[in-house]
């Protein structure tokens, strides 16, 4: 693209942002169509996951809709503003996922106990399993399905989310609430 073409595109995008700031949906649609492939391409290079990239790109455009009035052409081009916003959002997503993985790994590591006596361990395991099975029956149907898929099926939160066709946050809430109810039923306290 020539310098004149870039300048023309930049002016057009700045004009669209001004119209978006006034709540014009058509301007938002035009802005999205002109920029979304570049935003998605940059986000997918950072995240390397199409699903996360789609979610993050959607979040970026939601932020554009809400903060278009904050764009200042004196500070840079509309495309630079948009790509910077998208890059920050993608990096935040990476950090969030890494933090979550680190928390799960730390929890797993801190709650692992080496084996001591195989026979005693098997007796305790069978008693625990019997109690857990009884307590699983006290869960709601949605909690039961989520907990069983995660802990007996070995699925990750994301896989449970896909299996049940519900959002990731919903799955995490169902599992957390189910584990709290199991904890109460079993009369034990888990730290973490």
Q: What is the per-residue pLDDT across 128-183, written as a single tens digit (0 to 9) for each?
A: 666 677 777 888 888 888 888 887 778 888 988 898 898 988 888 888 888 888 78
| Phi/psi at 70 (5° precision) | -80, -10
Residue at 191 is within a domain: no
Count how many Cα atoms sit within 13 Å of the Cα of residue 189 in the half-sphere of its side chain: 1
Residue at 180 is within a domain: yes
Could you tell me which residues come within 8 angstroms of residue 145 by beta carbon, excluding any fewer than 6 positions away? 164
Whole-number Cα distances in Å, 5 to 16, 36, 63, 143: 16, 19, 27, 56
Alpha carbons 11 and 3: distance in angstroms, whole number: 12
The token duo for 12 is 């057009």
Residue at 163 is within a domain: yes
Residue at 108 is within a domain: no
**Looking at residues 98-117, what average pLDDT do you find?**
62
Q: Is the pLDDT of residue 112 over 80?
A: no
Nearest to 131 by CA among 188, 177, 180, 172: 188
Q: Per-residue pLDDT tens for 4-23? A: 778 899 999 999 999 999 99
Neighbours of 144 (CB within 10 A): 16
Quickly tell me which residue has 């069978």 as its tokens: 126
Q: For residue 55, what is the domain's CATH number? A: 1.10.1740.10
Alpha helices for the chain (secondary structure H): 3-21, 25-47, 50-67, 78-110, 118-136, 141-147, 157-164, 168-186
**Co-location of 76 and 129 in the same domain:** no
**Co-location of 37 and 61 in the same domain:** yes
Q: Whole-prediction pTM value? A: 0.52
Neighbours of 178 (CB within 10 A): 24
Could you tell me which residues come within 8 angstroms of residue 131 by beta carbon, excluding any fewer than 6 positions away? 186
Could you tell me which residues come within 8 angstroms of residue 53 by beta carbon, excluding any fewer than 6 positions away? 40, 43, 44, 47, 90
Instruction: Give pLDDT, residue 45.
Output: 93
Residue at 47 is within a domain: yes
Which range of residues forms the domain containing residue 86?
3-102
Q: For residue 121, what is the domain's CATH number? A: 1.10.10.10
Q: Per-residue pLDDT tens for 37-79? A: 999 999 999 988 888 899 999 999 999 999 999 999 889 999 9
- Counting the structural domains of the chain, the total is 2
């Amino acid at each position: 693209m020539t310098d004149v073409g870039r300048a023309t595109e930049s002016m057009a995008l700045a004009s669209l942002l001004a119209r978006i700031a006034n709540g014009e949906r058509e301007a938002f649609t035009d802005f999205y169509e002109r920029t979304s492939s570049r935003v998605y391409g940059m986000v997918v290079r950072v995240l390397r996951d199409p699903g996360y990239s789609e979610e993050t790109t959607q979040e970026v455009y939601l932020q554009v809709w809400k903060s278009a009035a904050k764009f200042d052409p004196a500070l840079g081009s509309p495309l630079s503003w948009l790509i910077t916003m998208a890059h920050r959002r993608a990096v935040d997503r990476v950090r969030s996922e890494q933090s979550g993985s680190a928390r799960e790994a730390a929890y797993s590591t801190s709650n692992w106990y080496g084996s001591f006596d195989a026979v005693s361990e098997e007796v305790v395991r069978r008693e625990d399993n019997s109690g857990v099975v009884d307590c699983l029956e006290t869960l709601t149907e949605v909690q039961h399905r989520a907990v069983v898929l995660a802990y007996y099926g070995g699925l990750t939160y994301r896989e449970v989310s896909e299996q049940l066709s519900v959002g990731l946050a919903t799955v995490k809430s169902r599992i957390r609430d189910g584990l709290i109810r199991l904890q109460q039923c079993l009369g034990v306290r888990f730290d973490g």
